[in-house]
Homo-oligomer: A and B are copies of this chain.
Amino acid sequence: MPPPLMVQFRAGDAGPWRIERMLPVTGAALPAATHLAILEGTAPPPPGAAAWSLRGSTGNLRYTHRSEADSLAARQAGLGRPAARCAALIPIRKNAAWWSLAQDERRAILEEESQHIAIGMEYLPAISRRLHHSRELGEPFDFITWFEYAPEHAAAFDEMLRRLRAKPEWGFVEREVDLRLRRLD
């Protein structure tokens, strides 16, 4: 488990990822932009003004049990695979009811009722993923998840999202934006 990494997702008219579409799933969309740059740590921003910028930090496991973590580690692939030229950026905010739940209640909804970890596991290693926590940074979203996959896995990625969004956990989502991107280089 590496130390927390601060990551800035910066949308504008420059960056190595082209934004192909943006769908406001729940609540307000983000301002329109054509490109995205991902700045890790203290990396300098690309030239040009930002249309918007979202920050999040990687961190420790919040819900995953040891047996699940070991299964994930055995199957998952990292970011930056040459074949993974498609990406999705999905910022989510959950409602006050979710955040008022105790730890055991949130875990039960996330996994025992909604199979969040188990469903994601079915799509490994095709879909790689990095989760960023934003809630305690004062950001407009609670989480930002970044996904990478090869073009031939785009349909599987959509299926995974449909399954997750149909579960009880998603009843607590009060804002969600779904951006799809393609690597330019």
B6, B61, B103, B136: the one contacting A102 at CB < 8 Å is: B61
- Chain B residues with Cβ under 8 A from A61's Cβ? 101-103
The closest CB in chain B to the CB of A132 belongs to: B136
Say whether A64 faces chain B, with CB atoms less than 8 Å apart: yes
Q: Is the CB of B103 within 8 A of A107?
A: yes
Say whether A69 faces chain B, with CB atoms less than 8 Å apart: yes
- Chain B residues with Cβ under 8 A from A135's Cβ? 4, 59-60
List residues 82-134 of chain A with CB under 8 A from any CB of chain B.
96, 99-105, 107, 133
Residue among A60, A62, A96 facing the most chain B CB atoms (10 A cut-off): A60
Q: In whole Å, how far is A70's beta carbon from the nearest beta carbon of chain B?
A: 8
Q: In whole Å, how far is A173's beta carbon from the nearest beta carbon of chain B?
A: 16
CA distance A112 to B114 in the complex (A): 26
Say whether A65 faces chain B, with CB atoms less than 8 Å apart: yes
Say whether A57 faces chain B, with CB atoms less than 8 Å apart: yes
Say whether A166 faces chain B, with CB atoms less than 8 Å apart: no
CA distance A61 to B137 in the complex (A): 16
CA distance A135 to B62 in the complex (A): 14
Say whether A138 faces chain B, with CB atoms less than 8 Å apart: yes
Q: Is the CB of B4 within 8 A of A69?
A: no
- Chain B residues with Cβ under 8 A from A69's Cβ? 102
By Cβ-Cβ distance, the 3 closest A-B pairs, closest first, are A57-B136, A1-B100, A66-B102
Binding site for B on A (CB under 8 A): 1, 3-4, 6, 57, 59-66, 68-69, 96, 99-105, 107, 133, 135-138
